[in-house]
Amino acid sequence: MADLVADRSTDPDVQDLAARILAAQEPEIDTLNGWLEAWGADRAESEMSGMDASAMGGMMSEEDVFPLEAASGVQFDRMWLQMTLEHHTGALGMAQTEISEGEDPQAIALAQDSTASQGAEITEMEQLLEGLSTQ
């Protein structure tokens, strides 16, 4: 979803947040994929395709994203922030589960880092949404 921001948002704060989210998530995804490979897990089994996105809190389906792709300006910014906020909230839930139930120290550490960074991003998104509510 963050890839859509550059072409649809007119808010520099939303654009900045999306760029930071993209920059942070790429190394996380690389790390997770590296672990899957090291653990001998089949990446095809771990991919989201074919899964019900609603089964994982905050995951958006392709159908959820269609209206976002059609929006621009303030309407886009509001939708993107709301969807990304929901996505991050779901990710925090998954991270908390890893922290409390996980076994791999590196995975737990990543979940703890993710909780801190995404928690700060959630606060920022809520503030940006408040600012948009006056527009």
Residue type, 105: P
Residue 3 lies in a domain: no
Residue 118 lies in a domain: yes
Cα 18–chain centre separation: 10
Residue 108 lies in a domain: yes
Residue 121 lies in a domain: yes
As to burial, measured by CB atoms within 10 angstroms (0-12 exposed, 13-18 middle, 19+ buried), residue 95 is buried
Residue 49 lies in a domain: no
Residue 9 lies in a domain: no
Does the predicted model carry a pTM greater than 0.75? yes
Residue 106 lies in a domain: yes
Domain that holds residue 129: 74-135
The domain total for the chain is 1
Collapsing DSSP to helix, strand or coil, 77 comes out as helix
Give the Cα separation of 39 and 9 in Å (integer). Answer: 40
Q: Each residue's pLDDT tens digit in the chain (135 positions)? A: 899 999 999 999 999 999 999 999 899 989 989 998 998 887 655 454 444 444 456 677 788 888 999 999 999 999 999 999 999 999 999 999 999 999 999 999 999 999 999 999 999 999 999 998 877
- The answer for residues whose C-beta is within 8 angstroms of residue 13's C-beta and 6 or more apart is 128, 131
